[in-house]
């Protein structure tokens, strides 16, 4: 069985001690710099404005979101229907622009409640109320053969005013300025013999 060489172990120990003594003046300040950088970074993280913050993912208020440092991910401002494009921070701002409103989904009319008149049949010189409930719409405009024009939001109602004959009404809804649109029509029946029960 081979015997350990105590002399070799002693030499190795001496070498390690010598290297540690020689490198201490170099490693010590280097460790000090690393520690001070970490402390400085934490302080900067808590106090610095977003544009100068290099340690956390800040929101770029001018660009609609994203990181605080160049090359970090960000999001563009939203278009009329809330869609955003992804991009990167370049020169302090997000290099991505909002998607065009033409990419917004077309408005949709809910079954039964999308666009209807209540009541749908009335007597001569009576009026009824038009109701609508539309998805993916920012504005809706109601028009009628009797000259009615009314603009509102995705949900609403409007009176037809007194009608003397059966009249067609239409609604056109749009999803954002210049975005997709959709239309629907209905007829309000005017019956001279109609009597509301």
Predicted confidence at residue 4, as pLDDT, reads 53
Instruction: Give the separation between CA 175 and CA 3, rounded to whole angstroms.
Output: 87
Domain boundaries, the chain: 52-99, 108-190
Fold of domain 108-190 = Immunoglobulin-like (2.60.40)
Q: Which range, of 25-39, 130-144, 170-184, averages the lowest pLDDT?
A: 25-39
Instruction: Give the separation between CA 110 and CA 190, rounded to whole angstroms.
Output: 26
Of 145, 138, 134, nearest to 183 (Cα)? 134
Instruction: Give the separation between CA 71 and CA 91, rounded to whole angstroms.
Output: 9
Instruction: Give the separation between CA 167 and CA 130, rounded to whole angstroms.
Output: 12
Residue 100: both structure tokens together: 């065009």
Tell me the pLDDT tens digit for each residue of 79-119: 888 889 999 999 889 999 999 988 889 999 988 899 999 99
Q: Residues of the chain with pLDDT > 70: what percent?
A: 64
The yes-or-no verdict on residue 39 having pLDDT over 50 is no
């Amino acid at each position: 069985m081979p015997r350990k060489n105590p002399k070799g172990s002693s030499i190795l120990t001496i070498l390690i001690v010598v290297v540690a003594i020689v490198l201490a003046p170099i490693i010590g300040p280097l460790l000090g710099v690393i520690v001070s950088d970490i402390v400085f970074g934490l302080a900067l993280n808590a106090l610095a404005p977003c544009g100068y913050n290099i340690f956390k993912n800040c929101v770029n208020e001018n660009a609609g979101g994203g990181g605080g440092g160049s090359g970090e991910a960000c999001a563009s401002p939203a278009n009329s229907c809330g869609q955003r494009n992804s991009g990167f921070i370049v020169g302090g701002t997000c290099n991505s622009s909002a998607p065009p409103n033409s990419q917004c989904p077309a408005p949709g009319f809910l079954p039964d409640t999308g666009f209807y008149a209540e009541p749908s049949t009335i007597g001569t010189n009576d009026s009824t109320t038009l109701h609508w409930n539309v998805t993916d719409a920012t504005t809706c405009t109601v028009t009628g053969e009797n000259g009615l024009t009314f603009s509102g939001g995705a949900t609403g109602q409007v009176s037809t005013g007194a009608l003397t004959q059966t009249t067609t009404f239409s609604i056109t809804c749009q999803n954002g300025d210049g975005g997709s649109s959709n239309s629907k029509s209905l007829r309000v029946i005017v019956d001279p013999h109609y009597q509301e029960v």
